[in-house]
Amino acid sequence: MAAGLDLGADTARLAVVRECSVLERMPKWLICVPLVVQWLWLSLRYGGATLPSAANPHLTSGGLVGEGKLEYFRGMGPLARSLTADYCAVFNDGTANEDSLRRIMAENGLAFPIVAKPDLGLCGYGVRLLPDMAALRAYLAAFPSGETVVLQRYLPQEGEAGIFYARDPVTGEGRIIGLALRYFPRVTGDGRSTVAQLVAADVRARRIARSPRHECSVPSESVPAAGQQVRLATIGSTRVGGLYRDGAALITPELVRAIDAIARDMPDFHFGRFDVRCENLRELGAGRGFTIMEINGAGSEAIEAWDPDIGVLQGFRMVFAKQRLLFAIGAAQRKAGVRPIGLLALARLNRRQNRLVDRYPPSN
């Protein structure tokens, strides 16, 4: 295993990795400018701004925007399903009571604590760890009516990775084009300072206090012991202070075979990111010992580019490469008869998703 990819060592390293990458510090609109320019150029080159939606024809918009998490799960074959955390769906129409919730959870092998997340979501918005039935009832009461909630088995492992997969529709070759290691926001106690003071003093962790749709579940006035690491969130998104690191050293032939087999056990899936939890990075590199939390399609970000050790130019090159490959796959799919989504329909999906995100309960 390459140096710097040991799970225990990297978790301890969070005590000193406080800096944010250049991309993290840049305004979102500024990041989008070169990406939009490249997208427009690729649209002209390939003849279609929505061509990437053809990459995964069995998903809404190919997974660009507006697709639900359940779309990925329900299309899985037995292999992919066996490696995915148990889940169930609850349609939030106000009719679910405690008995019906307990019954559907039991039928799907779920027990508290569980993770609740919107079926239609992004960037961890609305994702909450729920300890009991009272918390679940409160979550559903705050969730938009008429929308679907996914309840999923909580995975307590510290290791989390986003594995970026692509398969050439022409040659059939599947490969891993990127791998990001994601670490949860945390602070380290000194025996004197409160959690609130530790968060305020940490450049990365203080993002959690500035995130308007997130609640820190750790009591702000508690005083951790000297050297005690305190995890601040269920999710590892950079918007709440999570850390992304480039895990390319973990891309082995064994892992490629494992992920390729999973992707082929899904209908016509050619491009996307598998978000997994694992106990041991060595096992992950060997292509085993991981569990899928969720999958993202054509709209997946190359999140390894947000590693603080990666410069801004290299980061943009990684994202540009992803977009070029996405258009190439979409073009091959179109040639095979797949019809991309229309621009107006895509805009409607995006507008609906953004409106829902604003109405979700805060993540924790």
Question: What pLDDT does 217 receive?
Answer: 82
Distance, CA of 9 to CA of 82 (rounded, Å): 30
Question: What pLDDT does 2 receive?
Answer: 42
The helices-and-strands tally (H runs, E runs) of the chain is 13, 11
Q: pLDDT digit string (tens) for 258-282?
A: 999 999 999 999 999 999 999 999 9
Distance, CA of 290 to CA of 168 (rounded, Å): 25
Question: What pLDDT does 10 receive?
Answer: 52
215 pLDDT above the threshold of 50: yes
Tokens 């019809």 belong to 339
DSSP string, 225-263: PTT-EEE--S---GGGT-EEEE-GGG--HHHHHHHHHHH
What is the pTM for the complete model shown? 0.93
**Which helix or strand (DSSP H or E) is residue 181 part of?**
strand 174-183
Q: pLDDT digit string (tens) for 68-106?
A: 999 999 989 999 999 999 999 999 999 999 999 999 999
Q: List the structure tokens of 241.
A: 């202070």
- Identify the structural domains of the chain with CATH numbers, from first to last: 1-85+156-184+242-335 (no CATH), 86-154 (3.30.1490.20), 185-241 (no CATH)
**Which helix or strand (DSSP H or E) is residue 317 part of?**
helix 312-335
Distance, CA of 79 to CA of 64 (rounded, Å): 25
Q: pLDDT digit string (tens) for 144-183?
A: 999 999 999 999 999 999 999 999 999 999 999 999 999 9
47 pLDDT above the threshold of 90: yes
Confidence of residue 331 (pLDDT cuts 50, 70, 90): very high
Question: What pLDDT does 8 receive?
Answer: 53
At 140, which amino acid appears?
A: L
How many Cβ atoms from other residues are within 10 Å of residue 211's Cβ?
Answer: 20
